[in-house]
Amino acid sequence: MTTAHEDLTQYVDGGDGVLTVRASKTHRAWNGIQYKTGLSAKNVGAKQLSMNVATIPPGGVAYAHIHVDFEVMLYILEGRVRHEYGAGCARAIDNEAGDFIFIEPGVPHEVLNLSDTEPVVAVVARSDASEWEHIVKYDRKNARPVGG
């Protein structure tokens, strides 16, 4: 896994306006989710978008958090996942391979892999080129951002 300061441009090929990350491997992790090196401000100079592939291991949980001022769209490639969301994460929706998911900015949510044996794999696109730097933890019990 990479460190926060690793030079992600080492994975980029191309130039003059068309850049490629080829068959990337899992290099980073955040909040229980493993990420392949994708595209972001960190390696291709993106200004408004980031995209990568996320894996939640069997039985894994991405603990409650909020995306501050950016949208997220996901496409589930493998597995079954539950999003518990809203105030106190009291609502829930289950998704499976083939489903598209949209998460509005500011919506508290926690993500759970519903299988103890299979990973969840998803393509993740964000309207934030910095990826997950504008995410805050969320206290489900007290229904409020942590530190906010």
Mean pLDDT, the chain, integer: 90
pLDDT at position 24: 75
pLDDT at position 1: 47
Reported pTM: 0.87
pLDDT at position 4: 53
pLDDT at position 15: 84
Of the candidate CATH numbers 2.60.120.10, 3.40.50.150, 3.30.420.40, 3.40.50.300, the domain formed by 8-145 belongs to 2.60.120.10
| Cβ-based burial of 4 (10 A; exposed 0-12, middle 13-18, buried ≥19) | exposed
Q: Give pLDDT < 50 ranges for the chain.
A: 1-2
